[in-house]
Amino acid sequence: MRMRKKKYLDKRLEAVSDILYISDFEDRNFNTAIEKKDYIDLENWFGNDKPIHLEIGCGKGRFACEYAKSHPEINLIAVEKSGNVITVGCEMAKAEGINNLRFIKCGAEYLEKFLKEKSVEKIFLNFSCPFPKSGYATHRLTHPRFLEIYKRLMVEGGEIHQKTDNMHFFEFSLECFSKSGFALKNVSLDLHKSDFEGNIMTEYEAKFSSMGFPIYRLEAYVND
């Protein structure tokens, strides 16, 4: 049963392979794997050199598709480590003919293997897994180990936009951004009741806000 499921997923991944990069390297040692660069030729992949925005942990790609459609002036790369969910986003992007959106299937910790330093203008962290147990704090996508990666990937003046429904994760993130030398702006403790315009809902956002939870949002930038 499992094998059949996997075979079916492989077929679906193959069908979207023109817009999906699958990180597939043998080296299971993180340090040596990350050292050996395998940069994606972004100009060739998108067919232009528009600024690159990144969504990390894109899930089924609802935000990525809407954001790319409403921002034709940029190229968006949606990153997700789960093959099952990223496939849904890729299929949606293809069905809608969105030509400024591509996907990378990999863990955020490996991004520097595929993307060059200072190649990204904006990063979106939408409803990242909060990993509530303290032993898993290093897996949170706003942990300093990830913030240092984002700093290297971003151009000067680059920004990270975060949204979450989880107050404890938001508090943790505020501290991490501050410790890692980021400044904050446009912080909201209830996004949907704020005067912020142009919000694009994600799958998790729709679910949690319909349950009455406030949505927390911030924008972070390096303050050198």
Ligand X SMILES: C[S@@+](CC[C@H](N)C(=O)[O-])C[C@H]1O[C@@H](n2cnc3c(N)ncnc32)[C@H](O)[C@@H]1O
203 counts as binding ligand X under rule CB under 6 A: yes
Q: Which is closer to ligand X, CB of 91 or CB of 109?
A: 109
CA–CA separation, 128 and 146 (whole Å)? 12
Query: Quick check: 128 binds ligand X (CB under 6 A)?
Result: yes
H or E segment and range at residue 87: helix 83-95
Q: What phi and psi, each to the nearest 5 degrees, are found at residue 197? A: -110, 150
Q: Is 216 in the site for ligand X (CB under 6 A)?
A: no
Tell me which of 46, 67, 103, 127 binds ligand X, using CB under 6 A. 127
Q: How far is CA 77 from CA 2, 54, 180, in A?
A: 30, 5, 24
Q: Is 17 left (phi over 0), alpha (psi -120 to 50) or beta?
A: alpha
Number of residues near ligand X (by CB under 6 A): 20
Q: Which of 82, 194, 199, 209 binds ligand X (CB under 6 A)?
A: 82
**CB contact at 8 A, 126 and 199:** no
* List 42, 65, 80, 149, residue binding ligand X (CB under 6 A): 80
- Residue pair 20/91 in contact (Cβ under 8 Å)? The answer is no
Q: By CB under 6 A, which span of 103-111, 165-173, 175-183, 184-192 interacts with ligand X?
A: 103-111
Query: Phi and psi dihedrals of 54, rounded to 5?
Result: -130, 135
| Tokens describing residue 165 | 């429904």
Q: By CB under 6 A, is residue 79 in contact with ligand X?
A: yes
Q: Counting contacts by CB under 6 A, is residue 218 touching ligand X? A: no
Q: How far is the CB of 80 from ligand X (least distance, A)?
A: 5
Bridge-partner residues for 160, per DSSP?
123, 220
d(CA 117, CA 185): 24
Q: Based on the shown chain and the rule CB under 6 A, indicate whether residue 99 belongs to the binding site for ligand X.
A: no
Q: Binding residue for ligand X (CB under 6 A) from 202, 215, 217, 221? A: 202
Asked if 58 touches ligand X (CB under 6 A), the answer is yes
* Calpha distance 99→72 (Å, rounded): 9
Q: Would you count residue 116 as binding ligand X (CB under 6 A)?
A: no
64 interacts with ligand X by CB under 6 A: no
Query: By CB under 6 A, is residue 67 in contact with ligand X?
Result: no
Interacting residues with ligand X (CB under 6 A):
56-59, 79-82, 85, 107-109, 126-129, 202-205
